Chains A and B, each alone.
Chain A
Amino acid sequence: MLLGYHLLWSQVADIVGSEEQADALHKTYVTNNYYIGGAVNPRDNDLKITDGGEHAVFNGYKHFTTGAAVSDLIVLEGAVETGEHIFAVVPTKQPGIGFAYNWNNIGLRLTESGSATITDVRVPWADALGWKDKKPNPADLGIPFASLLLPLIQLNFSNFYLGIALGALDTAKGYTTTTTRPWPFGGDVSGVDSGLSEIDSWRES
């Protein structure tokens, strides 16, 4: 999941930003081999943006910030007073960004999805993805391509769940061919073979 979210955010500017913003982000993260996390949850409005003149100022918090606490860059997503949301990529290690480390992974693997508090993080308006002159730019945000962001996020989930399932099948298969003994016929593996060929044909489909 850590890899999937990084790859997703690495091209967030390609989807919702201008070409210049996208190119700048690629240059920064590729040449520095940065890891990008996210403090993004457009379903809630608890990270608020105010206009500080040259900068958009982010204040508030976000839950479920997968990968953010271990990142070099972080995608912030907040809401302005009028309700529109803005995405911006900022360096993680700055005084205004703190992490609560309040994620109990309970078997979901180490996704580091705890909460982040954001205090007076100033982002130049030029870095607000897809915004121009302090307004959403229809050329970047009004086009259908921009709406791909949500399906791309959801595809991330599909892919790592798929990988987990495939890995589990492989592990189970390895275990049954090497370690287990079918009950009650210790030593008789005929039942195991037919079960395994069923799993294989199910897996192919």
Chain B
Amino acid sequence: MTNTNNGTSTNGTGVPPKGNQQPPRATDPAVYAEYEAKWDTLPANEEGWIARAAEVAAILAKDANQRDEANATPLAEVALLKHSGLLKVIGRQKYGGGGQPISVGYKVTREVAKGDG
């Protein structure tokens, strides 16, 4: 299975990059559209947030290998994270965030990484 950017990968080797390209391949957020309605409230405590992260990990684990090899820009994966509410876990509660301490932020990162680092 091919896993290249047509030879244009530089992985930060110091060559000034050319910007303003469009992603050669990107995942499609529509694949996770069903989850937008599923998680309509934010978890209320640390256990709830970690459980939410575990749900996301399980969804990502299903095809982590294929998406890894495809090497496409992860637009769908970011959409899934947005649907899950996980982006707000340490956000200030007065604006609608989870208000959790940074330690919980790290724990949910760890939990999601179990499915797809």
Contact = CB atoms under 8 A, between A and B. Distances in A.
B81 A2 contact: yes
Contacts of B12: 63-64, 113, 115
B20 interface: yes
Interface residues of B, number: 58
B87 to A, nearest CB: 6
Interface in A137-191: 152, 155-156, 159-164, 166-167, 170
Given A159-B106, A160-B110, A167-B57, A101 B92 contact: no
B117 A119 contact: no
Nearest to A96: B19
Which residue among B16, B22, B114 has the maximum number of chain A CB atoms within 10 Å of its CB? Answer: B114
Given A117-B18, A117-B20, A104 B11 contact: yes
Nearest to A97: B19
Interface residues of A, number: 59
B64 A109 contact: yes
Contact of A162 (B81, B91, B113): B113
Contacts of A155: 106
A21 interface: no
Contact of A112 (B74, B87, B96, B117): B74
A2 B18 CA distance: 23
A106 to B, nearest CB: 7
B9 interface: yes
Given A30-B92, A70-B74, A97-B19, A160 B117 contact: yes
B87 A35 contact: yes
Given A110-B72, A115-B10, A155-B106, A3 B117 contact: no
Given A33-B82, A110-B72, A159-B106, A100 B19 contact: yes
Interface of A: 1-4, 6-7, 10-11, 23, 26-27, 29-31, 33-35, 46, 61, 63-64, 67, 69-71, 97-110, 112-119, 152, 155-156, 159-164, 166-167, 170
5 contacts: A113-B12, A117-B19, A156-B106, A156-B109, A166-B110
